[in-house]
Structure 1
Amino acid sequence: MSGSSQFDLLRTRRFAPFFATQALGAFNDNAFRQAMVVLVAFHLGLSDAAVGFYSNLAPALFILPFFLFSASAGQLAEKFEKTRLIRYVKLFEIAAMALAAYAFHAHNVPLLLTVLVMMGLHSTLFGPIKYSILPQALKPEELVGGNGLVEMGTSLAILFGMIAGGSLMALAAVGPTAASCLVIGIAIIGYLVSRAIPPAPATAPGLVFNWNPFTETVRVLGFVTKNRTVFNSVLGISWFWFFGGVFTAQLPNYTKLFLGGNESVAILVLALFSIGVGVGSLLCERLSGHKVEIGLVPFGSIGLSLFGIDLYFARPELATAHGLSAFAFLVAPGSWRIALDMTLLGVFAGFYIVPLFALVQSRAERSELSRVIAGNNILNALFMVAAAALGIGLTALGWSIPQIFLTVAVLNALVAIYIYTLVPEFLMRFLSWILVSTLYRIKVEGLERIPDEGPALLVCNHVSYMDALIVGGVVRRPVRFVMYYKIFNIPVLRFIFRTAKAIPIAGHKEDPALLDRAFDEVDRALADGELVCLFPEGGLSRDGEIAPFRSGVEQILARRRVPVVPLALRGLWGSVFSRRDSALGRSRLPRRFWSHIALAVGAPVPAAQADATTLEQRVRELRGSWA
């Protein structure tokens, strides 16, 4: 793959101004909210009952615009040029923060709650633009890295915003003034930075705007459910918000009652989680090899459950000491286990959420993506409300906070199993990612030669039982593989091949009916615009060399004239999954891990020029002397 880093995007105009704009917006949103919390809780002399009332009312008011206006926001993001919309949203933020400054000084709680609704509307309008602009600005191989940077930036901006807003409002005498200067200043800077974002043309300029938010909400949810993989990805994202909503809502009391910490411990715990999310988000690009690797999603969900469960066992009882500072907490027995759990929860949350967003962006139709994101935001809001209801309900039943953590961690495992049963592609990609990532380091050449859309036939040399997993793991589009039925039926791998809709084939003398069905299925797949990969040698190499290509490829092209892309695998001869050990009479044992291999992609060959001999020669040239 390309040796470029995702951090290179921060030096490009097509990404850096947008990245800064969205991070500043997340910072300001949380700075305002935390400043409001400190003002209401500590500076107005309100009763505990009044503070509790406002604390429960505030999240509901912030979420309300997501229900009412997400569908309209999705339409706006499709119909109009996105950069101009971003600037209007940032001007709206400046106005909201100016109103917040007045409310801070006037100690006007109803006005502060009004501003909270305005900031909810700000997030509602910005959300569909935020995630739909990335596929327009980034190349396909940059999508995971870009999403990772956005999630990292958002996570850290939320943390720093909460710290800055709360700290400034807590300053004696000048708190409201300091907090007002911060939120207005950041809003202005955000607007100025947004002016550097390059134009992002409308994806559906002819869209007829529906002013009815209720009927449009139903329509938007229809776009979400249109593609099964996209819909289940959106459900996965919404479940993440449910999971995170339960955890974050309990953190203040968990810190006080079970960790025995003061405000600095609460900030430390939030910081560890946020840093973990940032690290996990950034690691996604390296672990996925610059492509949308949904195999990371099960990996992330496993980590969320494991470390969520361990958080229960790490401290199930109430703390015996209270008022601990961050340093005193860290040196107390058992605290490092809790700190590690919170950090790794964040890391695996990054593994989980980044590929899901990238998958939605890559699989949803471009002209509908903003509305799909809007539908995602509606479902997110519903799941967040459900998370709040669950937390309140379990608390009313007398459950402890660690017990709530344990419950949600177990629920996460059950939901993950259910989703991966509905869409086994997630689990299939996870298994293939684990296998390939453990055994090989892959260098890829010419991947951009495989068309991003439309039908094409891929032809490749056949060296090992892992060939299909390697090719399928590298190519960014789903690939239908034609493979010898005995390989298709190998235990464990059979689940992966069947889930990937591989097409088993047999020789004419072995099973002529299966052979005919295979050719029919290949033709249907190509007619549907899919990629189909064929190993024309008809079997694994017995000596590491490429055997003559059979005429099956010509029969396929006679029925469906599609371009043919030659591929060549290098370095697999000698692995435990090749036939080298059999040829040498040795036991078939793994003798090397994380070995260097390569996949070379040649220029597409028009159907009129593609015959078995020509394609064999192209593959030989691509492979070279490295078997």
Structure 2
Amino acid sequence: MQSHNQFSLFGTRRFLPLFITQFFGAFNDNLFKNAFLVMIVYAGLSAGGMDSQTLIGASAGIFILPFFLFSAVSGQLAEKFDKARMARAVKLLEVLIMLAAGYGFWQHNAYVLLGCLFMMGVHSTLFGPLKYSVLPQYLQPRELMAGNGLIEGGTFIAILLGQIAGTVIVQHQPHGETMIIWACVAVAVIGLLASRSMPPAPAPAPDLKISWNVLGETWRIINFSRQNKTVFNSLLGLSWFWFVGAIYLTYLPEMSKVVLHGDASVYTLLITLFSVGIGAGSVLCDKLSGHKIEVGLVPFGSMGLSAFGIDLYFALGHSPLGNYDWISFLRDSGHWRVMFDLALLGVFGGFYTVPLYALIQTRSDKRFVSRAIAANNILNSLFMVVASAMGIALIKAGLSIPALLLTVALLNVLVAIYIYTLIPEFLMRFLVWILIGLLYRIKERGLENIPDEGPCVLICNHVSFMDAMVIAGTVRRPVRFVMDHRIFKIPVLNFIFRVAGAIPIAPAKEDPTLKDKAFDRVAQYLAEGEVVCIFPEGAITRDGEIRTFRPGIEEIIKRTPVPVIPIALQGLWGSFFSRKDGAAMMKMPRRFWSRIGFNVGAPVPAEAADRMALEARVRELRGDWK
């Protein structure tokens, strides 16, 4: 992507048709569902003698049931068939469902509408794995955060608009029911037309044999996901978000009415703030991450979810008394803190979810991405059901709605701590992201020269004690650093180095055993397909110039022949962490958020990886800017 403006994706055929297809699919789900619910509440629609509350509860279960039943099959279908062709088939199914729903609205037939609600759940189940697994096929790695952010943000805005439109249209007198029929069918047709413009997306596993054993295949794909620790815990992290979100979305109407004393328009205002917040947070992810997959945003997001969830409890406790519509609610400054908390909950929810989706897409086996997303849908549904059961149990036990929301916010703290002990990479990336983001503005060039998979060795000039942090924060893949054992032991940084799998090394004359262990560890990492980075100068420069490369790089490549990728850092000489004008970190900082360069050269084949040639290449990449 030449432009760093993520909205430029809307100008490409490989993204816009997918976005429109997904947007109107999510819009139609909620347009139809809310219109149906309004008819149950206000038009006396019933089935099987159930009262309105029971029928509404049954409707929620009917919509979510297909995610349990068919997610495993839908994941397989998205792997076996061209995803663009499958999208068109799913959208055609949506048109047929909406035609049947039109008959149900016209005849006030709750049984037909319940059947259509189930089929719309099937529609969403089929399209879910497809929409996320096709993104890595359509987009470049540098565009994945932007694409996921726009899809996620657009989905929540579509859900919001669909909820509002479904409520408003069906209540319109005297032709509301006729209008909702036309609206549902028209939106489905728009989605079908958009899907026809999606470029081909070849099947990653065309020889896959479809298993129709729902329970067996569901268990199999979840077990397969568990083999990749990072992916599986990302799935759990996303499912936990939907657990938290289910509690908020379920009790927001009651909170609006009972706690805040507002009418239906106040609920609409609050759900709008929450949904727009998620949309904004999702879109901002690309900017904050520097247009790369930055899992450091995940801890940042979870911290925000807990902080503003806890603050919401106290804000609700100070809510003024009175009866409000949305205008009077806005005018009363006593409600601003509640609105601020809900909007920020949405924003940090976006920060939390978008990197996890991108991580699943890039860390999963390419033949398994759709099934990983299918596993995510199954787990999401399960967590939402558990959240619903927990909410009912705690409310019946006497817990107030504000106390229930506080309980979830506190649980989020415990879950976050648990997840980050399982995957310390998240917390490590967060620390690196914050540290580098506060200190530097990095101008990257040639980052695409670092392969997305497979072993390689990065070599770089050594200017300061922050060099490893800059590289770790800029390169998209986890990097294993070979570093001086004394730098490895620096407090605070030592935690990051250990979590990152850094390799301490010492000169042979100082500790020959540690040196041998370091080379063995490098060979092991490369054999496992990892990225290893070394600083061939052997020490941080004392005069800003690049020192002669030592023979260690040749020894590594001789033992494990892999491509060598030269990197040059610019602008770090003279920083607080360099040795300019005295010892590093022993003088007053002169600058903050300074601009630095990060230049990556073309890979050098193992057979041409002579240390003198590599040194010359790094010098060329650095130029005169130290």
Q: TM-score, normalised by structure 2?
A: 0.98
Tell whether 2:521 aligns with 1:521: yes
| Aligned equivalents of 1:376, 1:215: Cα separation in 2 | 16
| Aligned equivalents of 1:26, 1:354: Cα separation in 2 | 17
Shift of 1:588: 2.3
**Structure 1 residue aligned with 2:314:** 313
Q: Which amino acid aligns with 1:497?
A: F
| Aligned equivalents of 2:91, 2:385: Cα separation in 1 | 27
Contact 2:253/2:267 (<8 A) preserved: yes
SS at 2:283's partner residue? helix
Q: 36-45 or 139-148, which moves further after superposition?
A: 36-45
Q: Which amino acid aligns with 1:386?
A: V
| Aligned equivalents of 1:343, 1:361: Cα separation in 2 | 28
Contact 1:242/1:384 (<8 A) preserved: yes
Cα deviation, 1:26-76, whole Å, max 9, x if unaligned, reads 000000111011110011277997111012111111111111111011110
| Aligned equivalents of 1:46, 1:444: Cα separation in 2 | 61
**Structure 2 residue aligned with 1:433:** 433
**Structure 2 residue aligned with 1:401:** 401
| Aligned equivalents of 1:447, 1:81: Cα separation in 2 | 30
Q: Which amino acid aligns with 1:326?
A: W
- Name the CA shift for 1:428/1:2 in 2 (closer, same or farther; >3 Å): farther
SS at 1:367's partner residue? coil
Shift of 1:318: 7.6
Shift of 1:457: 1.0
Q: 327-336 or 427-436, which moves further after superposition?
A: 327-336
Contact 1:147/1:354 (<8 A) preserved: yes
Contact 1:168/1:178 (<8 A) preserved: yes
Q: Which amino acid aligns with 1:173?
A: P
Q: Which amino acid aligns with 2:455?
A: P
| Aligned equivalents of 1:564, 1:434: Cα separation in 2 | 29
- Name the CA shift for 1:49/1:82 in 2 (closer, same or farther; >3 Å): closer
**Structure 2 residue aligned with 1:301:** 302
Q: Which amino acid aligns with 2:615?
A: E
| Aligned equivalents of 1:348, 1:175: Cα separation in 2 | 37
SS at 1:204's partner residue? coil
Q: Which amino acid aligns with 1:206?
A: D
Identical amino acids, percent of aligned pairs: 57
SS at 1:378's partner residue? helix
Tell whether 2:454 aligns with 1:458: no
Contact 1:258/1:319 (<8 A) preserved: no
Q: 587-596 or 29-38, which moves further after superposition?
A: 587-596
| Aligned equivalents of 2:475, 2:315: Cα separation in 1 | 42
| Aligned equivalents of 1:567, 1:92: Cα separation in 2 | 51
Shift of 1:3: 4.2
Cα deviation, 1:63-115, whole Å, max 9, x if unaligned, reads 11111111011110011111111111111111111111111122222222111
Contact 2:145/2:285 (<8 A) preserved: yes
**Where do 5+ consecutive residues of structure 1 fail to align?**
none
**Structure 1 residue aligned with 2:100:** 99
Contact 1:506/1:512 (<8 A) preserved: yes
Shift of 1:465: 1.1
**Structure 1 residue aligned with 2:392:** 392
**Structure 2 residue aligned with 1:282:** 283
Equivalent residues in 2 for 1:146-295 (5 A)?
Answer: 146-295=147-296
**Structure 2 residue aligned with 1:625:** 624
SS at 1:87's partner residue? helix
| Aligned equivalents of 1:581, 1:100: Cα separation in 2 | 76
- Name the CA shift for 1:581/1:399 in 2 (closer, same or farther; >3 Å): farther
Contact 1:483/1:505 (<8 A) preserved: yes
Contact 2:577/2:585 (<8 A) preserved: no
Equivalent residues in 2 for 1:442-521 (5 A)?
Answer: 442-521=442-521
Contact 1:83/1:198 (<8 A) preserved: yes
**Structure 1 residue aligned with 2:553:** 553
| Aligned equivalents of 1:518, 1:57: Cα separation in 2 | 61
Q: Which amino acid aligns with 2:161?
A: F
Shift of 1:206: 0.5
Contact 1:257/1:318 (<8 A) preserved: no
Q: Which amino acid aligns with 1:367?
A: R
Q: Which amino acid aligns with 1:601?
A: V
Q: Which amino acid aligns with 1:465?
A: F
- Name the CA shift for 1:306/1:49 in 2 (closer, same or farther; >3 Å): farther
Shift of 1:517: 0.2
Give structure 1 regions of 4+ aligned residues with deviation exceeding 2 angstroms: 1-4, 45-49, 316-320, 585-591
Q: Which amino acid aligns with 1:84?
A: R
| Aligned equivalents of 1:164, 1:205: Cα separation in 2 | 40
Shift of 1:577: 1.1
Shift of 1:526: 1.2
| Aligned equivalents of 2:344, 2:521: Cα separation in 1 | 44
Aligned residue pair count: 625
| Aligned equivalents of 2:483, 2:251: Cα separation in 1 | 52
| Aligned equivalents of 2:348, 2:312: Cα separation in 1 | 14
Contact 1:257/1:319 (<8 A) preserved: no
Contact 1:14/1:197 (<8 A) preserved: yes
| Aligned equivalents of 1:551, 1:98: Cα separation in 2 | 72
Shift of 1:184: 0.7
Q: Which amino acid aligns with 2:184?
A: V
| Aligned equivalents of 1:191, 1:393: Cα separation in 2 | 42
Q: 421-430 or 46-55, which moves further after superposition?
A: 46-55
**Structure 2 residue aligned with 1:22:** 22
Q: Which amino acid aligns with 1:207?
A: L
SS at 1:580's partner residue? coil
| Aligned equivalents of 1:3, 1:177: Cα separation in 2 | 45
Superposition RMSD on alpha carbons, in Å?
1.5
**Structure 2 residue aligned with 1:351:** 351
| Aligned equivalents of 2:518, 2:378: Cα separation in 1 | 43
Cα deviation, 1:592-622, whole Å, max 9, x if unaligned, reads 1110001111122222222221111111111
Contact 2:578/2:585 (<8 A) preserved: no
Contact 2:4/2:291 (<8 A) preserved: no
Contact 2:78/2:130 (<8 A) preserved: yes
| Aligned equivalents of 2:431, 2:369: Cα separation in 1 | 29
**Structure 2 residue aligned with 1:326:** 326
Q: 26-35 or 443-452, which moves further after superposition?
A: 443-452
Q: Which amino acid aligns with 2:94?
A: E
Q: 302-311 or 521-530, which moves further after superposition?
A: 521-530
**Where do 5+ consecutive residues of structure 2 fail to align?**
none
Tell whether 2:47 aligns with 1:32: no
Contact 1:258/1:317 (<8 A) preserved: no
Tell whether 2:149 aligns with 1:144: no
Q: TM-score, normalised by structure 1?
A: 0.98
Contact 2:576/2:585 (<8 A) preserved: no
Shift of 1:2: 5.4
| Aligned equivalents of 1:431, 1:190: Cα separation in 2 | 42
Tell whether 2:572 aligns with 1:605: no
Cα deviation, 1:280-299, whole Å, max 9, x if unaligned, reads 11111011111110000000
Shift of 1:358: 0.3
**Structure 2 residue aligned with 1:60:** 61
